[in-house]
Amino acid sequence: MNNTLVVPEAELYYEVRGTGPLVVLVGAPMDADAFAPLADLLADDYTVLTTDPRGVKRSRLHAGGTSTPEQRADDLARLIRHVDAGPATVLGSSGGAVTVLALAQAHPDVVSTVIAHEPPLDRLVDDADELLARSEQMMADYLAGDVIGAWKQFFALANIQVPDGMIEGMFGGERDPQQVADERFWFAHEMRESITWLPDVDRLRDSGVRIVIGIGEGSTGQLCDRTSTALAERLGITPTRFPGDHTGFVGVPDEFAKALRGELVQVGLDPRA
């Protein structure tokens, strides 16, 4: 089922698959399509909710609207209440991991377990000031028109190695207008709000929500490995390794689904029970 929900400043596009306990898959800036293969693999046993975050693709943002982790968390809470199948187990990846942590803090009544997969919480690491300054330069360069240069800075900051010419091939030449619009929105209105967000560790601990910090097996040494490890240390928990890298749910959806099912069983969502 595809539908929209009106929320403050935006109209959210969302999809619902399957039947059973509610599992929510969310990203930022990744849209619902990025999670479609994983959602299809889970839909035999679970009700799976996916959505485009506000301002991205089919989720229209009203003039003057913004996209903060708190707003995106409120959007998710409204969606979960709207589909009336909660409390939910929620997996968020990248900026979506920041969203679901904000959800656990502000709306613990709608969520039972949060799986934060590689949240880019730059303020948690020792070189935060340098990282954030470099990110400001990257965002400014992108918005000034240096798309290739900004993406080269992005991968260098993330400590992700890319083959020669790949960035030019991915982000140069003729591109899909919607992809470009979503990318520009991320650089202008979403990235800063995600990487500068600072979780309230005490509120997360006291929320009653089970928190899982996920890190890709292929992400060792990357920035999101560092930020995720730093958060897990503050929470006093051991990170859970998932197949693939930062976008393992896209690259190896079958393996990722198997690992995620294992986490769902651990929290009592066993379809065989």
Structural domain of residue 181, as residue ranges?
A: 128-192
Give the model confidence (pLDDT) of 33-70 as tens digits.
999 999 999 999 999 999 999 999 999 999 888 899 99
Q: Looking at the domain assignment, is residue 257 inside a domain?
A: yes
Q: Specify whether 51 is located in the same domain as 91.
A: yes
Q: Specify whether 57 is located in the same domain as 116.
A: yes
Q: What band does 125 get if pLDDT is binned at 50, 70 and 90? A: very high
Contact criterion met (CB below 8 Å) for 35 and 249? yes
Give the model confidence (pLDDT) of 134-156 as tens digits.
999 999 999 999 999 999 999 99
Q: Specify whether 182 is located in the same domain as 106.
A: no
Q: Specify whether 10 is located in the same domain as 72.
A: yes
Sign of CA dihedral 82, 88, 91, 94: positive
Give the model confidence (pLDDT) of 4-44 as tens digits.
999 999 999 999 999 999 999 999 999 999 999 999 999 99
Looking at residue 79, what is its pLDDT?
A: 97
Looking at residue 273, what is its pLDDT?
A: 56
Contact criterion met (CB below 8 Å) for 153 and 140? no
Q: Specify whether 213 is located in the same domain as 174.
A: no
Cβ neighbours of residue 273 closer than 8 Å, sequence gap 6 or more? none
Q: Specify whether 44 is located in the same domain as 179.
A: no
Give the model confidence (pLDDT) of 210-253 as tens digits.
999 999 999 999 999 999 999 999 999 999 999 999 999 999 99
Listed residues 192, 217, 246: the one ending a domain? 192
Sequence letter at residue 40: D
Query: Among 76, 75, 55, 73, which residue's Cα sits nearest to residue 65?
Result: 55
Model's pTM, two decimal places?
A: 0.95
Give start and end residues of each alpha helix (H) in 144-220: 147-158, 166-171, 177-185, 191-195, 201-206
Q: Is the pLDDT reported for residue 121 higher than 90?
A: yes
Query: Among 238, 189, 247, 192, which residue's Cα sits nearest to residue 216?
Result: 247
Q: Looking at the domain assignment, is residue 272 inside a domain?
A: no
Residues forming beta bridges with residue 93, ordered by sequence position = 27, 117
Listed residues 166, 192, 218: the one ending a domain? 192
Looking at residue 15, what is its pLDDT?
A: 97
d(CA 211, CA 262): 15
Total domains in the chain come to 2
Q: Specify whether 105 is located in the same domain as 214.
A: yes
d(CA 209, CA 50): 20
